[in-house]
Chains A and B, each alone.
Chain A
């Protein structure tokens, strides 16, 4: 193939019609709280791992619904429980994190 010194850039667009959501739906069955996140960011703001590693439960939950491989972030979780304490929607984030790790292994 000819080298022109430039090439096609990979599109950053999320094509939601092509995102596999079977595992996310399984997650919702096991932890229904996954469906009610409003993206407020309280979890991330209070996360002791977040400020060191960039981990964010909000980003993980959104990313899984957008077909992004983001669950590795959760390895930094220390299960301290603060995010469960602050979530205004009452999401059991501890169960959420453990369930994501199991399903998306």
Chain B
């Protein structure tokens, strides 16, 4: 692998990321899957970095899940999105930051479609006005929330309490980065680093002291694939795609996986349990799985937050081996205590993959 070759490609796929004043929209599902991730993002941006980040409770789904499950036409998704833009315009913002990758792809696709077919944009504006008497300006900048963390990765590194290093050996941790398909595969120029060698997560890993693993199936989809998962008859395809990735990354012995999509970390995490239960195979050390983190969770660990406040106890794969390597202190007894120290009760632990 020739790093300079990648660096040359990265230098061609830079995007403008304004330093302040963002309108933030949450994902439909991330707060259920990874409950502290978005909370950690707003905390880092507003409280740690002191930036202006605005949210409104009137925000709804962008329609992306229904669109990608083929249950609504794109015009419907467009009108929903037009309303989101109206909320941004009314709040006085022009930098739009979705937390969800599919949303990001949905917004990028809609803006690009409107650019190509202005008459369609005019029709959606009319539909929105008829439906709810709202008007909107299109965002000046569209960036995914991982783009923002990428943009501020250096500042986070300066504030870091922990680094992505194995404290016992002094070696950098070996991190697999996984990018959601809808981040840049549709529009390579909209992603930091492009679609073939995305830099958005690799840049964070490098800045925070880790070593990025590039393995043969790196570009492969996590397997979620909306209809692949949601239709139970197809669920084996979803699982098989994930399995293909793990088989491919196995020889590199990754210490962790970091992702920037709502679905990917969920499936890369949960399917390890299913694979172990069906085949007996695990991919981490000593019967563990490979911990899978969102980039906000990883940033949270680097900034020294308590792993249980980051919601890491809700992962299927045990994160403790990673915490031990990074030298993160944690109280095993507090793992299943809520923020208010209320007992969340202990889940039943699987037998084929080592969990605590």
Contact = CB atoms under 8 A, between A and B. Distances in A.
A8 B277 contact: no
Interface residues of B, number: 15
A6 B239 contact: yes
Contact of A1 (B235, B239, B244, B277): B277
B9 interface: no
The majority secondary structure among interface residues of chain A is loop
Nearest to A2: B277
A3 to B, nearest CB: 9
B328 interface: no
Given A9-B236, A11-B244, A4 B279 contact: no
Interface of B: 232-233, 235-237, 239-240, 243-244, 274-275, 277-280
A9 B274 contact: no
A8 B232 contact: no
Majority DSSP secondary structure for residues of B touching A:
helix
Contacts of A1: 277-280
A2 B232 contact: no
B151 to A, nearest CB: 39
Contacts of A6: 232-233, 235-236, 239
B246 to A, nearest CB: 11
A69 interface: no
A8 B280 contact: no
The 6 closest A-B pairs by CB, nearest first: A6-B235, A2-B277, A9-B240, A6-B236, A9-B236, A8-B240
B244 A4 contact: no
Interface of A: 1-2, 4-9, 11
A8 B236 CA distance: 5
B300 to A, nearest CB: 32
A9 B239 CA distance: 8
21 contacts: A1-B278, A1-B279, A2-B274, A2-B278, A4-B274, A4-B277, A4-B278, A6-B232, A6-B236, A6-B239, A7-B239, A7-B278, A8-B236, A8-B239, A8-B240, A8-B275, A8-B278, A8-B279, A9-B236, A9-B239, A11-B240
Contacts of B277: 1-2, 4
A92 B237 CA distance: 43
Contacts of A9: 236-237, 239-240
Contacts of B239: 6-9
B28 to A, nearest CB: 24
B318 to A, nearest CB: 18
A19 B278 CA distance: 27
Contacts of B243: 8
Contacts of B279: 1, 8
Contacts of B240: 8-9, 11
A8 B277 CA distance: 12
**Most B CB atoms within 10 A — which of A1, A8, A9?**
A8
A59 B274 CA distance: 38
Contacts of B244: 11
